[in-house]
Chain A
Amino acid sequence: MIVNGKEMNFETEITVDELLKSLGLDKDKVVVEVNFGIVPKEKYTDRILNREDRVEIVSFVGGG
């Protein structure tokens, strides 16, 4: 699948939550979009990603 414009390969099916963990990202500091739709945080553990999916993850850092 394409994550932030880069191709990534996974052996087994993967949820949004697992993808975030594998990328070392904190689920409370991100916005996740799959195929141009925002995934609500409470769906991260259910939403299974397919190989055709385009995933965009915006990860916030502190400072304002």
Chain B
Amino acid sequence: MKIFLNERKFEIAEGTTAFQVRDIIKKDADIIVLNGFIIKEDMPLKENDRLTLIKRGEIPDKDELEALLIARHTPGVHEKVKKAYIGIAGLGGLGSNVAISLARIGIGRLLLVDFDVVEPSNLNRQQYFIKHIGMYKTCAMKDIIFQINPFVNVDIKNVYLDENNITEIFKEVDIIVEALDNPYSKATLVNTVLNKIPEKVVVAASGLAGYFSNNTIATRKIKDNFYLVGDGINEAKVGCGLMAPRVGIAANHQANTVLRIIMNERDV
């Protein structure tokens, strides 16, 4: 009977259990992942099961690392996610969080677009480190993604997006995440995508400042190719700043919307 052990084909006798395989192959493995889920009790294996054996704290070589990263990705999801090419417009509080979530689920390819550099005032909500201050956000985020999942292909563009360059920049991606700060830029991006490249899907955000209720942040499907996240009301202004928790909630609404679209779940 065939199973996948650390993502490679492996023959076992019928009735063999997960722990029996561990005892033969990697006796010191203390994390046993079966079909994307860590198991604590022994289980018999079935044809085509995916079993991964991990020794906690051991840093694997690059080939083995990819197999181990894949282990926690739900089978059937990984193959689709790996083929997706997602553009992220803006790498502030929204974009930096979206980029990391998509990297962690093993997205195949990302296009990161931002014109700005990391500043100390960004660190209240954006996923950069002190060592990144002064770097382009695109380069800093590429560095972070490489530390999380080096198998994501990351393209970067250090440009200010406007109606003259949006179509060209995003022409190859499947889905565009609008993660800009300025409301005029947000409207320009969404209008340009919907009018000029309507075959793309855009996932935008509006209304995520402050520490208002979690539950007013929602995802709405405005059109087949336009999703909108946020409370629609609370803008960043004097006395109502952007803060990590609520920006993170909105960003992960966007990231999960991207994942759902990839998986062909088009309702919200």
Contacts and interface: CB of A to CB of B under 8 A. Distances in A.
Nearest to B233: A61
Interface in A13-64: 28-31, 33, 36, 38, 40-41, 56, 58-64
B181 A63 contact: yes
B242 interface: yes
B205 A62 contact: no
Contact of A63 (B184, B207, B223): B207
Contact of A62 (B182, B204, B232): B182
A60 B206 contact: yes
Nearest to B194: A38
B183 A61 contact: yes
Given A63-B181, A64-B93, A64-B205, A40 B195 contact: yes
B180 interface: yes
B90 interface: yes
Nearest to B184: A28
Contacts of A56: 222
Interface of A is mostly: mixed
A53 to B, nearest CB: 16
Nearest to B224: A36
A62 B235 contact: yes
Interface string B186-213: 1110110011001000001111110000
Interface in B63-117: 90, 92-95
B237 interface: yes
Contacts of A61: 183, 206-207, 209, 230, 232-236
Interface string B172-183: 000000011111
A64 B90 contact: yes
Contacts of A63: 93, 181, 206-209, 234-236, 242, 247
A10 to B, nearest CB: 24
Nearest to A31: B190
Nearest to A27: B187
Contacts of A29: 183-184, 186-187
B228 interface: yes
B95 to A, nearest CB: 7
Nearest to B181: A64
B180 A64 contact: yes
Nearest to B242: A63
Contacts of A41: 191
A58 B222 contact: yes
A60 B237 contact: no
Contact of B236 (A38, A40, A62): A62
Q: Which of A38, A56, A60, A61 has the largest count of B CB atoms less than 10 A from its CB?
A: A60
Which of A30, A58, A59 has the most CB atoms of chain B within a 10 A radius of its CB?
A58
Interface of B: 90, 92-95, 179-184, 186-188, 190-191, 194-195, 198, 204-209, 222-223, 226, 228, 230, 232-237, 242, 247
Of all A-B residue pairs in the complex, the 3 with the closest CB atoms, nearest first, are A61-B235, A63-B236, A64-B181
